[in-house]
Structure 1
Amino acid sequence: MGEDGANRFVVISGCSGGGKSTLLAELARRGQSVVEEPGRRVIAEEMRSGGSALPWVDLAAFARRAIQISLRDRMEAAQQKGWVFFDRGLIDAAVALEHVSGELVAEPLAHAHRYHRQVFLTPPWPEIFENDADRRHGMDAALEEYERLIRAFPRFGYEAVDLPKLPVHARADFLLGCLEQR
């Protein structure tokens, strides 16, 4: 994909339970193109099929599936016009796979498949963190993941921008404002 396409692809990553999905829903409500989190789609597929590529069963298999879905998402997003906002994505999945398996996949994938140079991170926000059927880990695991991601994105040439802990409409305004300044 050309650099112009990648410049339209904006990743929203960060701490699990930090409000990413809520923010993506707000952006979609405003008419923006959004891509659902690959991990949640993997979980839904595995639960339907009785598979084991679940983060609480086989994290490496889960991450590999999330990488495949992320690559497909990028190809499909190329058909969209304007900004495309990704709820997590390729780098999140590759960093998870590296963490659990030691396979050095994140750097080559991060350099071959670029996103917008600014990546927006939801910081830890314990006051809104909740478990659900797909998020079975606790705040400690969420913090560990966040720390891995906050180190990884700059290592791959991205500017990590922490989203402020604000109501969702103000958070969306902040994000869109950052992009408009570029």
Structure 2
Amino acid sequence: MSERFVVITGGPGAGKTTLVERLAAAGFAHAPEAGRAVITDQVAIGGRALPWADRELFAELMPAHDLRSYRQAHRATGPVLFDRGLPDLIGYLRLCSLPVPEHVRAAAHRFRYRQRVLIAPPWEQIYRQDDQRAQSFAEAESTYQHMVAAYTDCGYELVDLPRGTVEQRVRFVRDELGVHRAQQGSP
């Protein structure tokens, strides 16, 4: 387990990626969300591994992306922020009523992150759909519940991100990590 590897998770549209991007701009090393990366790649090549075309194939591509990010994170110094982690895939598969393959379960238990996982609760006031986020707010809430269950089942402690401005959330993360500008690692 690497206590430097900090997961920020939750349902879609709860401000996770915005927070990670803001912290990355401030110099924190980070790993982007696997699902969005797979969608971007599949759309670019006309692939079918998309959540609206072939959910199982989409889910099968995500562990490779997450494991690559995990390995690359070892090169960074200081905290590395992950926009979702391997247990998110378990939550996604359960949400879709799909079986969780043993290799996905094994990856989530073998490649560990910081014990305290930051989770963004559903927040209707900031929720927006986009080209890669077609879920309704009710689906976003259900996704959040599945993420809570997946991370809990994997033995993590969940810490709610406060609802507030991005700057307030940035301060919260810095306080949670005990990291000040002079201490953060390089990407």
Is the pair's TM-score, using the shorter chain for normalization, greater than 0.5?
yes
Do structure 1's residue 137 and structure 2's residue 101 form an aligned pair? no
Which residue of structure 2 aligns with residue 102 of structure 1? 99
1:89 is displaced (CA, Å) by 2.1
List gaps (5 residues or longer) in structure 1: none
Contact 1:64 1:93 survives alignment (8 Å): no
Work out which of the residue numbers 7, 11, 14 in structure 2 matches 1:15: 11
Do structure 1's residue 31 and structure 2's residue 27 form an aligned pair? yes
Which residue of structure 1 aligns with residue 171 of structure 2? 173
Do structure 1's residue 81 and structure 2's residue 80 form an aligned pair? no
Contact 1:64 1:97 survives alignment (8 Å): no
Which residue of structure 2 aligns with residue 61 of structure 1? 57
List gaps (5 residues or longer) in structure 2: 180-187
Contact 2:91 2:149 survives alignment (8 Å): no
1:178 is displaced (CA, Å) by 1.3
Which residue of structure 1 aligns with residue 36 of structure 2? 40
In the alignment, the residues of structure 2 paired with residue 107 and residue 48 of structure 1 have an alpha-carbon distance, to the nearest angstrom, of: 29
SS in 2 for 1:79: coil
SS in 1 for 2:65: helix
TM-score (norm 1): 0.92
Contact 1:67 1:94 survives alignment (8 Å): no
In the alignment, the residues of structure 2 paired with residue 113 and residue 148 of structure 1 have an alpha-carbon distance, to the nearest angstrom, of: 20
Cα deviations by residue, 1:104-160 (Å, 9 ceiling, x for unpaired): 445422220100001101100011100100001111111111101111212211110
In the alignment, the residues of structure 1 paired with residue 43 and residue 148 of structure 2 have an alpha-carbon distance, to the nearest angstrom, of: 30
TM-score (norm 2): 0.89
SS in 1 for 2:3: helix
Contact 1:10 1:86 survives alignment (8 Å): yes
* Letter matched to residue 38 of structure 1: A
Do structure 1's residue 49 and structure 2's residue 50 form an aligned pair? no
Which residue of structure 2 aligns with residue 92 of structure 1? 88
SS in 2 for 1:121: strand
In the alignment, the residues of structure 1 paired with residue 94 and residue 161 of structure 2 have an alpha-carbon distance, to the nearest angstrom, of: 26
Question: How many residues align structurally?
Answer: 177
